[in-house]
Structure 1
Amino acid sequence: MMDYKKILVVIDPTSDVQPALARSAELARRSQAAVTAFLSIFDLSYEMTSILSSQEREAMRLGVVNQRKAWLADLLQPYLDQGIPIEHQVLWHNRPYESIIKFTQEGGFDLIVKGTHEHDKLKAVIFTPTDWHLLRKSPVPVLLVKDKEWPVTGNMLCAVNVACEDEAHLSLNGKIIQHANALAQQFNANVHLVNGYPGTPVNLAIELPDFDARTYNEAIQSQHVHRVHELANEYQIDSKFCHVQQGLPEDVIPEVAEQLNAELVVLGTVGRTGLSAALIGNTAEHVIDSINCDLLAIKPDGYKSPVS
């Protein structure tokens, strides 16, 4: 069973409302995990001031760090009052994602939790550069959180890739479902599987006059449905919770997530460079800019972070 025992929650320095902190506290309460609240800060103006000596600059940095530590302690107090122990750490670093990943590796954390921004007009989640770096480079699962409650008996959606039969993809599908199952047990949620399959390539229909597009589509659909149901059966998921639809994953996943009013989408990231290659099965990066719920990104076994 996938269990989170050490959770690192990334604090947003611009807000007193911290959905990631609330989610981490709830996870800790249900799984007896230890939580550390982490804040990475940097102000270039302190580094560029030529009239100050290095000692004076260091003193100013320390002053800012101590101010932030006091602010963070106030933020954590309500959780401490509830009996949820949360430690905190404030670091001065000019690249937040690097400081987060290094602190995660050095501290042996097994989950990073971070808030994301919602775009009011489109009701979509907007990811920051730090979010993208964490999704691609974090060696541990990353939970990106919106300010949306996880209801009791809610729905968690696993995006699986059954187009490839190599061991790496099969193993990653398994990890995605295991993480979702573990969370679903804690929150009494249902686990669903979603998969998008490609339609008929236009060039085939044009170049081959006798090509039967309907038969081709039915064969592809049947193959994907069979493989998704096999996966579901392996992890004791009811076949009625399998969603296989024609279309690109970046279209299908948000559609099904919205239909289910999902609280969480779980998918795999393979850590390649380039945004469009960041998600399993070449799912384009905007799949997660289109979902209106939390996202849990899982790395394949053996992944090594480029940040050391």
Structure 2
Amino acid sequence: MSDSERLLLVASPLMHRTPAFDRAAALAKAKGVPLHIVAFDYVEGLATAGLVNEQALTEMREGYLMRHRQWLEEQAAALRNLSIVVTTEVMWVQCPLEEILRHVKELNPSMLIKDLEHESLLMRTLFTPLDLRLLRECSSALHLVAKVQHATPRKILAAVDPFKPEEQFEQFNDHIILAAEKLASQCNAELHLLYAYDLSYMYASEGMGSTIFSAGMGEAVYEAEGKAFTELADRYRVPPECRHFIMGVPAKVITAYAEEENIDVVVLGTVHRRGLNKLLGSTAEQVVYHMHSSLLAIKPSSF
């Protein structure tokens, strides 16, 4: 376990460069930090070849792993020519979640990078996909990469929520902005700040119950939330043209804005609120399955 900053990439088992591979290489170069690449192989046909004896099966599996290691080392060599410190690893693992979490615990990476795998609604209902499990259980910042228009991000969006800060982890919005600000600085990217203001939060709050907002009350609440967002943006000197205060369901607002403005990375938090309030974590989970850009999810344990 090292105290120095490093990146951990979970590479595709298909032996080709994916968006996450390109993003990890670009970030390692921009940040000037080491990159460890691990791939988890499991070929069902090799694992269940009942007509092949155990020794032959072992040889076939090792041959496959050797080819993958050679391919990965060839990719790493090209990155080393760019002065990036790269190490590689290939493992035979059927269910990679536990191995990924073990690597995170042992390597303590500043960021875990992985390709985003879109699943159907039915699959998300019947099973818990790997990306969803990592959103909930990974202690490091998790960068799920979708399509990559720019390997090095050019536009970064920090999605914050100043609503009832006393119910959130202390200074969590600040941590989100600082993570986005640091990434933007390292990549020479444009930083935007977004607060998707959802009036339904008010109805879910304790004591509001069936209260019907008057027009005056709704306007007063809107102004109060706008003031809280402005104060947060002022504290980090975000230019007025890079502040976005939009009413609507957070997941829909974030995904729509990211798509319309060609945002490369959306930074948001994955911590749950208590009680009947809406879950911040569920917003991240909704965003990750509908957004075409990439997500950097952080939680208090990331700091």
Q: Percent identity?
A: 29
Q: Secondary structure at the match of 2:268?
A: strand
Alignment of 1:14-29 (within 5 A): 14=14, 16-29=16-29
Compared with structure 1, are the counterparts of its residues 187 and 61 closer, same or farther at alpha carbon in structure 2 (3 Å cutoff)?
same
CA offset at residue 254 of structure 1?
1.5
Name the count of aligned residue pairs: 286
Q: Residue 95 of structure 1 corresponds to which residue in structure 2?
A: 95
CA offset at residue 137 of structure 1?
1.2
Q: Residue 288 of structure 1 corresponds to which residue in structure 2?
A: 288
Kept after mapping to 1: 8 A contact 2:9/2:20: yes
Q: Deviations over 1:54-113 (max 9, x none)?
A: 555444433322221112122333222333231100111121222112112112222111
Gaps of 5+ in 2: 120-127, 205-209
Q: Deviations over 1:174-208 (max 9, x none)?
A: 111111000111222222221222336899xxx77
CA offset at residue 47 of structure 1?
4.2
Q: Secondary structure at the match of 1:289?
A: helix
Q: Secondary structure at the match of 1:193?
A: strand
Compared with structure 1, are the counterparts of its residues 199 and 110 closer, same or farther at alpha carbon in structure 2 (3 Å cutoff)?
closer
CA offset at residue 40 of structure 1?
0.7
Kept after mapping to 2: 8 A contact 1:118/1:146: no
Kept after mapping to 2: 8 A contact 1:6/1:35: yes
Q: Secondary structure at the match of 1:283?
A: helix
Q: Secondary structure at the match of 1:166?
A: helix
- Distance in structure 2 (CA, Å) of the matches to 1:15 and 1:57: 21
Q: Residue 214 of structure 2 corresponds to which residue in structure 1?
A: 213
Q: Residue 123 of structure 1 corresponds to which residue in structure 2?
A: none
Q: Residue 123 of structure 2 corresponds to which residue in structure 1?
A: none
Q: Residue 161 of structure 1 corresponds to which residue in structure 2?
A: 161
Gaps of 5+ in 1: 120-127, 304-308
Report the more deviating stretch, 257-266 or 57-66: 57-66
When the two structures are superposed, what TM-score results if normalisation uses the length of structure 2?
Answer: 0.81
Q: Residue 184 of structure 2 corresponds to which residue in structure 1?
A: 184
Q: Secondary structure at the match of 2:296?
A: strand
When the two structures are superposed, what TM-score results if normalisation uses the length of structure 1?
Answer: 0.80
Q: Residue 196 of structure 1 corresponds to which residue in structure 2?
A: 196
Q: Residue 124 of structure 2 corresponds to which residue in structure 1?
A: none
Q: Residue 263 of structure 1 corresponds to which residue in structure 2?
A: 264
Kept after mapping to 1: 8 A contact 2:22/2:151: no
Kept after mapping to 1: 8 A contact 2:143/2:297: yes
Structure 2 counterpart of 1:253, one-letter code:
I
CA offset at residue 280 of structure 1?
1.6
Two-structure CA RMSD over aligned residues (Å) = 3.4
